[in-house]
Structures are given as C-alpha cells and as structure tokens.
Structure 1
Amino acid sequence: MVPASNLLAFTAAAIVIIVVPGPGVLFTVGRALTLGRRAALLSVLGHTAGVYVALVLVAIGLGTLLAASALALTVVKFAGALYLIYLGIQAIRERKALRAALVAAIEPTSHTRVLRQSAFVGLTNPKAIVFFSAVLPHFADPEGGSIRVQFLLLGTIFLAIGIVSDSAWALLAVSARSWFARSPRRLEAVGGAGGVLILGVGTSVALTGSGD
C-alpha cells in the first residue's frame, strides 16, 4: 500500500499539474466549442479512458520502454499530434455548419465516435506516458506491496482529479459557447475557434510533447 504521506504529496503534485491547461484540457474545450456540452463531457470520459489504458501499460512495463526509447516515444507523440491536427482541420472546415449543429440532436453513433476519438487522444498523450513512467515511481514504496498495484492506485487518483478539472473546463467552455451562440454572426467564429484550439494543441504536441 502507498504510504499516506506519499498519497498526500502525490495528490498535491497531481493537482498542480492537472489544473494548468494542456492538450487534454484544450482538446476538451475545443470539443465544447464545436460540439456542445454532452460531447465535451463525453470527450472528458473518453480522454480519461485512453489515459487509463496508458496507465495500465505503464503498470506492466510498457511506459518504461517508451520512456527509454526515443524512437518509440516519438512515434506515439506524432501519432497523437497528427490525429489532433486532423480533428482541428476538420472542425475548421465544418465551422459553417455550426448553427445546425447547435440545434440538431446528436445521434448515438456520434457519441460513440466522440468517445473513440477522445480515447485515442488520451492514449497517445505523450506527457501522460512520461508522467506515469517517470513520476509514479517516486511515490511508490517498494516495501508497500505490488508496485503495479501502487501505480494503478496513484494513477487512478490522478485521473479522478483530471475528470473533475477537465469537466469544469468543459462546462466553462460550454457557457462561453452559449454566449457566443446568441449572435448568428458569432457561430462560424465559434466553430473556427474550436478547430484552431485543437489544431494548436496538435502542433504543440508535435513540436514539444508538453501539456496534459
């Protein structure tokens, strides 16, 4: 079991890291601006699920391999970055249809697609992989039982905090989206803004791999 002092220290560190907007947060904000509250919250869940898979992979050793291999980490980083750039470009191209999207019901298949897309973004988040593989070991206690179980516990705490933070950002973005939507002339700008946010995140990840 992870010592209580380690849990408190890790929680404090996780909060500091998570509240600062990075690719995970900005991706969610972009989805909120372009697709609305439900899609944004689904994106939070999907992104968290993808990051959880990364956590499990780290717990069984893959994270260590990626952290040690510059080539493997680069492949993961650019796969996620290119996918983000694709989603951003797609959002910008479809910005003129935002008025209809704001009033149209979202089909169940669209929900599935949102979850799938956001899960992929979470799974290929390079900082999540590096964070879990490089930071978690500092808070685990070799004498406290299975290191893998401790990694999963610490990672779950990290993700729980992330869900609360990302959801708050998503709801805040939805409020801004609703305000903009009051003016028809702002609708296209909202769609473009969401696309630019996601595109910027993808570019940032491709160049630096930074952010959560």
Structure 2
Amino acid sequence: MVPASLAGTFALAALALILIPGPSVLFVVGRSLALGRLGGLLSVLGNALGMLPAIALVALGVGTLVAQSVVVFTIMKIAGAAYLVYLGVQVIRHRNDHTDSETDAPRRRPSPWRLVGEGFVVGATNPKTIVFFVAVLPQFVDYGAGNIPFQLAELGLIFFTIALACDSVWALAAGSARAFLARHPRSLPRLGAAGGVMMIGLGGALVFTGSKS
C-alpha cells in the first residue's frame, strides 16, 4: 500500500494537473454542449473508465513497453484522433435531432450505454495516458514497501477518481450553459455543431501534436 504521505502528495499533484484544461476537458465540454448534462456526464464516465486498461498495463509492467513503442503509440494516437473526428462529424450531422418534439427526442438520442462506450473508446485510445502513468506513477511508489504493482494500481485509481470528479464539474457547467441557451430553440443546432467542431478540432490537434517523446 502506498504510504499516506506519498498518496497525499500524488493526489495534490494530480489535482493540479487535472485542473489545467486539456484534451479531456475539451472532449467533455464538446459532448456536453452537443448532448446536455446527462450526455456529458456519461461521456465523462466512459472516458474515465478508458483509463483503467492503461492503469492495469502500467501496474503489470506492460505499459513501459507500450510507451516505448513508436509504432503502437502512433497507431493508438491516430485511431483515437480518427474516432474523435468521427464523433464530431456525427454530432454535426445530427445537430437538429434534439429540436424535434418531445415524443421523438428520446428515440433519437443515443442510449446511455452507447455514450459511455464512446467515451471509453476515446479514453482507452489516448496513448498519452499510458505515457503519463509510466513517467509519473513510479515517482510516488515506496519501493521499500514492496508490492509495486498494487501501489501503481492504487495511484492510478487515485488519479481516476480525481479526474472523474473534476471532469464531471466541467460537464455540469457546459451542460448547464446549454440548458440555459436552449430556451431559444434555434440555438440548439448551433450548440451541437459547436460541440462537434470542438471534437473534430481536438482529433486533428492530437494527430499533429509532437512526437512520442
């Protein structure tokens, strides 16, 4: 088990990092603007669950191999970016769906499982998560205490919990802004399109962001 002092220090460092708006925040805000609070929160949950495979890989030692492989890193990065672009295009294509009647809206909206699944794919295909965990988590491990895989997993779950909480705040804020603007029905398609454009832009940015190093 990670000593309380190290766990606390890591929690503060993770909180400081997560509070800086990054790709996850842009994804969550874009989804919340397009789908509302519930859609944003379900996307947050899926995105956070997508971290769990990375945490498991790092804890088992496989994460280092993945992080050092240019081919694997590039494939994951391109796949994740392409999926974000796909989601953004779908949002723009269906931006008028939520302006229909109340009876049609539930039929047209993606199911909760689909929203969680889409968020999971985005989180799981982000290779920078593995690189971050490989680079940062070992610095907060007490090697004298042994059971290194368990300590790495514990630190990863601390990060998971903080990210889930903070990203949920972003989802609620963006979803509330959408709900406020939704009093003017014509603004909903524009908000949906804006969310889609954000996701497409994020996907493009991820492709052209630096090298693995």
1:75 aligns with: 75
Residue in 2 aligned with 1:21?
A: 21
Residue 191 of structure 2 corresponds to 190
Counterpart mapping for 1:24-173 below 5 A: 24-100=24-100, 104-105=105-106, 110-173=111-174
Gaps of 5+ in 1: none
Pick closer, same or farther for the CA change 1:201–1:102 going to 2, 3 Å: farther
Q: Aligned AA for 1:31?
A: R
TM score, norm. by length of structure 2: 0.91
- Compute the displacement of 1:142 (Å): 1.2
Distance in 1, Cα, partners of 2:177 & 2:204? 24
Change (3 A) 1:19 1:68: same
Aligned residues: 210
Query: How far did residue 137 of structure 1 move?
Result: 0.7
Q: Are the aligned partners of 2:36 and 2:176 in contact in 1 as well (CA < 8 Å)? A: no
Identical-pair percentage: 50
2:97–2:108 Cα contact (<8 Å) kept: no
Shift of 1:122: 0.8
- Secondary structure of the 2:34 match is helix
Post-superposition offset of 1:209: 6.8
- Alignment partners' CA distance in 1, 2:53 and 2:109: 24
> Residues 67 and 127 of structure 2 are in contact (CA less than 8 Å); yes or no, is this contact kept in structure 1?
no
How many Å separate the matches in 1 of 2:210 and 2:44? Answer: 20
Distance in 1 between residues matched to 2:161 and 2:70, nearest whole Å: 29
* Equivalent pair of 1:7/1:139 in contact (CA under 8 Å): yes
Q: Which runs of 5+ in 2 are unaligned?
A: none
Q: TM-score, normalised by structure 1?
A: 0.92
Q: 1:108 & 1:198 partners in 2: Cα distance? A: 18
Runs in 1 of length 4+ with deviation above 4 angstroms?
106-109
Q: What amino acid is aligned across from residue 2 of structure 1 in structure 2?
A: V
- DSSP-derived class of the 1:184 partner: coil
- Seen in structure 2, the aligned counterparts of structure 1 residues 132 and 68 have a Cα distance that, compared at 3 Å, is same
Which residue identity does 2:121 align to in structure 1? Answer: F
